[in-house]
Chain A
Amino acid sequence: MSRFAPVLTIVVAIFAFWYAAVPFMNVKETLTSLERAGAVVTPSNAVERRDASHIALVMKNSFAISATYAQDRPRLPAPHQVAQDLWKTVVMKKVTSKRSLVYHGWITLSATLLGFAIGTGAGILLAVGIVHSRAMDMSVMPWAIASQTIPILAIAPMIIVVLNSIGVQGLIPKAIISAYLSFFPVVVGMVKGLRAPDAMQMDLLRTYSASQGQGFWKLRLPASMPYLFASLKIGVAAALVGAIVAELPAGGARGLGGRMLTGSYYGQMVQIWSALVFAAVLAAALVLLIGLVQRRTLKRMGLA
């Protein structure tokens, strides 16, 4: 209980703020539709309402507050509306349906996992190179850092277009953008991890006249494990973000990114929120999964 109480407090606070914000965010559209249905709203002039503040409108039309929670296309959907939409699109639809979030979630997840695997592999290889070669240390690290300063939104369409022009589409371009985001934390973490053994540990291996390979497998790699797992948690979340961002310019309205995009085309805020919540839960599940593997691995290594 003591573990959940703080989390629960935050969740309650977020929901309270969310519910409190809904009337103000939706009041204008709500008043317009109520007026059309014959209700008397103040002010009755549409232009005056447009220029009035949200707060004043809510104060003057308190009768409309309950209606702000039940709009068809709310600007800010209430949590229960998002929950209803999630229920509809996650549980009630067949997973093969194009309206099912599970269907779209899987499309995004497959790109995420492939990208994460590529990113992790590349990250570890780069880190090994950086730790063992001074030239790589000097040359690769600045580029790795520079790569992360470019907004992914700018580079994602370019990757999609370039790969499309040579006939690569679908999963691979998304996975590459995913990998582009996830390799970086792995490089940084692994470089630190592989350098974690102190001078004494390295001297000890020298007294055994150990080879560089033996030093890597017996000392550097095991010593880097706690760092690797910390990086993997960041990396997998970044990979998911990468996959979603890649789906925006990819077109085809497939995947969670596609859902968000079509939601914004058609003013379906509920759909965007549903996809958002689904993506957040997916990310949490992936991080949790890595946490479990981490616990088991480090326990078996005697490190936790």
Chain B
Amino acid sequence: MAPTATKTVISAEALDLTFQTPDAPVHALKDVSLNIQQGDFVSFIGPSGCGKTTFLRCIAGLETPTGGKLTVNGMTADEARRARAYGYVFQAAGLYPWRTISGNIKLPLEIMGYSKSDQNERVARVLDLVELSDFGAKFPWQLSGGMQQRASIARALAFDADILLMDEPFGALDEIVRDHLNEQLLALWARTNKTIGFVTHSIPEAVYLSTKIVVMSPRPGRITDVIESPLPKERPLDIRDSPEFIDIAHRVREGLRAGHSND
């Protein structure tokens, strides 16, 4: 669809994941197949328990699938994790309270062994990217929730990974802040050309942000629909009132409903 979408970055084939729990095995993912191209913005949407977060964690090498094949940058997910192929943004900002914002962004850089001068340069660059340049010396508690989450995105962008995985990063924020951060995230994606995997359970958020929307449903977690968005890459906030937007949102809603009727 998009002209840059040429190279497959993430590829899942018939992925299965069953958690062994004391009472009964939980089928978290069943027969999940998906290809994500370079520069894609892919949203995973579905109700709780549909496996969207689990799938993202599989891509990140934080969970190990019990069946199927998964490659990230042509490697296994665990190899990709060890090669530091992605930045991960969690639902909570998870900043270290004993480090300043700059210090927090330096954390991955220190661990990965970047030089001091390189660290400072990168911190300045990503702080600028998320519009927090004046807050580097502040401690996390001095920032609002939205600013903390921006700082955690900056932390995930600071090192050279062309994949950004985000697990409901704006789930805990109010709608106004969320709109603003969505806009910023799109601008950031356009500037960095990263491949983004984004878990959400907000339909407008998924439709507004994505080039590809993956609709999932629970028990067992599986993909029910994959929607390639016809929306242009340039998306002002009021695109959400356009008929195309409403059409896609409708299709997503239908997909979610279809998944639920199986219950």
Contacts and interface: CB of A to CB of B under 8 A. Distances in A.
B is a partner of A: yes
B87 A207 contact: yes
Nearest to B156: A207
Nearest to B81: A209
B62 A207 contact: yes
Interface residues of B, number: 25
A204 B108 CA distance: 9
B107 interface: yes
A200 B100 contact: no
A182 B119 CA distance: 42
Contacts of B84: 208-209
A223 B82 CA distance: 25
Find the residue from B84, B87, B99, B107 having the highest chain A CB count within 10 A.
B107
Interface string A197-229: 000110111111110001000110011010000
Contact of A200 (B82, B87, B94, B112): B94
A303 B84 CA distance: 30
30 contacts: A200-B94, A203-B62, A203-B90, A204-B88, A206-B61, A207-B60, A207-B62, A207-B81, A207-B86, A208-B84, A208-B107, A209-B81, A209-B84, A209-B111, A210-B111, A214-B111, A218-B107, A218-B110, A218-B111, A219-B96, A222-B96, A222-B98, A223-B96, A223-B98, A225-B98, A301-B98, A302-B97, A302-B98, A302-B141, A303-B98
Interface in B79-105: 81-84, 86-88, 90, 92, 94, 96-100
Find the residue from B60, B88, B98, B108 having the highest chain A CB count within 10 A.
B98
Given A207-B60, A301-B98, A200 B111 contact: no
B135 interface: no
A114 B212 CA distance: 65
B97 A303 contact: yes
A208 B108 contact: yes
Contacts of B92: 200
A54 to B, nearest CB: 58
A210 B96 CA distance: 16
B110 to A, nearest CB: 7
A29 to B, nearest CB: 60
Interface of A is mostly: helix
B167 to A, nearest CB: 10
A295 B120 CA distance: 30
Interface string B33-77: 000000000000000000000000000111000000000000000
Contacts of B245: none
A55 B97 CA distance: 61
B111 A302 contact: no
B90 A302 contact: no
Which size bracket describes the interface of A in this complex? 10 to 19
B139 interface: yes
Contact of B111 (A205, A222, A301): A205
A207 B88 contact: yes
Nearest to A215: B111
Contacts of B112: 208
Nearest to A210: B111
B128 to A, nearest CB: 22
A303 B141 CA distance: 9
Nearest to B165: A207
Nearest to B159: A208
A203 B88 CA distance: 9
Interface in B180-230: none
Nearest to A207: B88
A58 to B, nearest CB: 60
A206 B96 contact: no
Nearest to A205: B111
A13 B111 CA distance: 58
A7 B88 CA distance: 51
Contacts of B86: 207
B102 to A, nearest CB: 12
Contacts of B60: 207
Nearest to A298: B98
Contact of B82 (A204, A209, A214): A209
Nearest to A206: B62
Nearest to B152: A204
Nearest to A300: B98
Contacts of B139: 302
Contacts of B141: 302
A276 to B, nearest CB: 40
A302 B94 contact: no
A212 to B, nearest CB: 12
A136 B99 CA distance: 31
Contacts of A223: 96, 98
